Structure 1
Amino acid sequence: MNTEKFQEYLKERYYDQIKWYETKSSRSNNWYNRIQLALIVFSAMTPVLIAIEWGLSPSSLLKWFPIVTSVLVAILTSALKTFKFQENWISYRTTCETLKKEIHFYEAGVGDYADAEDKQALFVDRVENLISRENTLWLSVHKEQIRRGNKV
C-alpha cells in the first residue's frame, strides 16, 4: 500500500470512524445518565407523593401525581431496556478506544507491526476487522431482539 492511499484511508475512513464512535458513545452515555437520573427522582418521589395527606377534594389533579410518576418510571425503565443506551455506550466506547490504540501500535511499530512487511496494509486490515466485528455484533444483537419480539 502506498503512502498516499494510506493517508487517504486515514482521513476518509479511520478518523471518520473514530469520530462516529465517539459521537455515538457520548450520545448513548448522555441518554443513559439522564434516564437514570430521572428514574432516581421519580422513584423517590412516588412513595412521598402517596404518603402526603393532600387534604384535597377527590376531583383535585394533585391526586394524579403519584400515578403519573409511577407511569414515568415504567416508561423510562422500558426505554432503557429497549434502546440499550448503557450497552451501546460501552460497546461504542470500547471500539473507539481500540481503534485509537491501533494507530499508536502502528506508529510505535510494536506488537504485530514490529515484524510486518507492509505495516500500512496490516493497519487497514486490523481496523476493518475491528469495525466489521462491531457491525456483526450489533446485527446479531438486533436480530436476537427481533426473534424474541422485543424490537420491531
Structure 2
Amino acid sequence: MAKENSYQEFLKADFNKLFEGMNLGDGQRHFLRSRWLDQVLWMEGKAILSRDRHYLLRITTIVGGVILPALVSLNITTTQPFNDRVKNVIIWSTFGLSQVVAISAAIEEFFHYGERWRHYRRTVESLKTQGWQFSQLTGPYRNYTTHEQAFYVFAGHVEDIIQRDVEIYATQVVQEKKEEQQSQENYILMQNTKITNMEEKKEEK
C-alpha cells in the first residue's frame, strides 16, 4: 500500500510539474488536474489493486493445487502411537487446503481480477499516452504550435477514452450478472432434478 501511494504521489507531482510549463488558461489547467490526472491516478490505483489480488488468488490456487495431491497420496504405515494424530493432522490439513484452493478459485472467477487489471492498465496507459503526446505536441497534436490550440482536441480524446472505459465496464457488469443468473438457474434446476429423482425412488419403493 505504501509503494502504491508513493508511486501515485510521484505521478501527481511529476505531471503537476509538467503542467506548470504549459501556456494554458485556468479552466484548462483545472480540467487537466480534476479530470485527466484524477482519472489517471484513480485507474492506476485500481490497476495495482486488481493486479495484487489477482496474483494472490492465482498463486494460492496454484500452490495449493500442487500441494493437495501430495497430501492426499500420503500413507502413514508405521505403528507408532502418534500416527493417529499425524493422520488426523494430514486429513484436516488436506480438507482445509482444499477449501482455501476452492475459495480462491471461486473469488477470482467471480470478481475477474485478472481481467479488471488488464482493463484498467490499458485505459490508464492510453490516458498517459495522450498526456505525454499533448505535453510534447506530438502524435495527433503535432500540427498545433501551442498547447492552448491543441487543448480541445486533447480534451476530446480524453473524454472518448473515459467514455469507452465506462461502456466496456458496463458491458462486463451486464455479462457478469447474466452469468451469475445462469449459474443460479442451473443450481436450482439441479436441485429440482435431485428432488424429483428422490420422489421417484420413494414411489418405486
TM class by smaller structure? 0.7 to 0.9
Q: 1:106-147, CA deviations, whole angstroms, 9 ceiling, x for partnerless residues?
A: 122223223359411111111011011011100011111212
Match of 1:132 among 139, 144, 163: 163
Cα distance in 2 between the residues matched to 1:102 and 1:58: 61
Which residue does the alignment assign to 1:44? 66
Cα distance in 1 between the residues matched to 2:178 and 2:118: 24
Match of 2:151 among 117, 120, 138: 120
Which residue does the alignment assign to 2:132? 104
Cα distance in 2 between the residues matched to 1:132 and 1:73: 37
Cα distance in 2 between the residues matched to 1:143 and 1:7: 36
Relative contact order higher in (CA < 8 Å, ≥ 6 apart): 1
Which residue does the alignment assign to 1:18? 40
Structure 1: segments with no counterpart, 5+ residues = none
Name whichever of 87-96 and 142-151 sits farther off.
142-151
1:61 deviation in Å? 4.8
- State the SS of the aligned residue for 1:56: helix
Which residue does the alignment assign to 1:81? 109
Which residue does the alignment assign to 1:141? 172
Name whichever of 37-46 and 121-130 sits farther off.
37-46
CA contact (8 A) 2:71 2:90 kept: no
Name whichever of 52-61 and 120-129 sits farther off.
52-61
Name whichever of 103-112 and 17-26 sits farther off.
103-112
Q: For residue 98 of structure 2, what is the amino acid of its counterpart?
A: S
Name whichever of 45-54 and 24-33 sits farther off.
45-54
Q: Which has the larger radius of gyration?
A: 2
Structure 2: segments with no counterpart, 5+ residues = 1-23, 77-82, 185-205
CA contact (8 A) 2:57 2:108 kept: yes
Q: What count of residue pairs does the alignment treat as equivalent? A: 151
Q: What TM-score do the two structures reach when normalised by structure 2?
A: 0.67
Name whichever of 130-139 and 36-45 sits farther off.
36-45
For the pair 1:65 / 2:93, whether they are aligned, the reply is yes
Q: 1:2-37, CA deviations, whole angstroms, 9 ceiling, x for partnerless residues?
A: 621110111111111110011000000100111111
Cα distance in 2 between the residues matched to 1:95 and 1:57: 54
Cα distance in 2 between the residues matched to 1:86 and 1:57: 40
Q: For residue 47 of structure 1, what is the amino acid of its counterpart?
A: P
The share of aligned pairs that are identical, in percent, is 23
